[in-house]
Amino acid sequence: MAINNEEVSGQVILNAGVSYKKLMLGVGSGIDWYGLRSVPIFVEGRFNFSGKLDKVFIYTKLGVNLNKLTAKQQYEQTEYTSTGFARGIYTDFGLGYSLYNSHLRGVQFGLGYSVKTLKQYVADIIYPTYPIYNQTGHYYTYTFNRYMVSVGYRF
């Protein structure tokens, strides 16, 4: 769940990883509705401060962010021009706490900060004389920053 000054948006992530002592390394993906809908694909690193079942941890995620605009977002972005989207970056880091049972199943809570970007190419068509025309273009980079509150389940 992301909270900014206008709305609360959701994010659904599925990740898997391997743990060794206090470290965890994993990969994940999901769908993110904040700003422009997108699909983050990332690697995650986690450090647990304790070897106990209930532990405080820090985490970081780094990866790519792929365009997955809704039909309405696609129309709004391409209504008057030729355009296309390129992948951006996805990062997320923060602090968490896990509550596990003896079978290592349980819930995780986290507070973090996330940044995702998407790049849009917009083609400008110039008609100096008909039918000859020139096409130039430029890029817009959309950056979405937010604080994250997360709840997860480990099974």
Burial label, 153 (beta-carbon count in 10 A; 0-12, 13-18, 19+): exposed
CATH number of 2-154: 2.40.160
Q: What is the pLDDT of residues 144-154, one digit of tens each?
A: 999 999 999 88
CA-to-CA distance for 39 and 154, rounded, in angstroms? 22
Residues in the chain: 155
* pLDDT at residue 9, as a whole number: 79
* pLDDT at residue 105, as a whole number: 87
> Do the beta carbons of residue 108 and residue 152 sit within 8 Å?
yes
Q: What is the pLDDT of residues 30-88, one digit of tens each?
A: 999 888 889 999 999 999 998 777 789 999 999 999 988 777 776 666 655 667 788 89
CA-to-CA distance for 114 and 92, rounded, in angstroms? 4
